[in-house]
Amino acid sequence: MGKGDRKTRRGKIYRGSYGNTRVHAVVAPAVAGAKPTVTKPVAARKAAPKKKLA
């Protein structure tokens, strides 16, 4: 038992995997008529104005 054991929680954390021992995420059931969440896109960074040559 330990880091190398695939069946234990510590082994799952070490390997970076998920399963019955280490459940990744609980998905909430969808509610009828609920609005989907909308994320705003990250604003694009403006380029510096070009320097005018004299």
List alpha helices for the chain, DSSP H.
9-15
pLDDT in tens, 7-52: 899 998 999 888 888 887 766 666 677 676 767 776 666 777 788 8
Whether the predicted model's global pTM rises above the 0.75 cut:
no
Q: How far apart are CA 46 and CA 28, in angstroms?
A: 39
> Which residue carries 């234990």 as its tokens?
8
Q: How many helices (H) and strands (E) does the chain have?
A: 1, 0
> Which residue carries 């190398």 as its tokens?
4
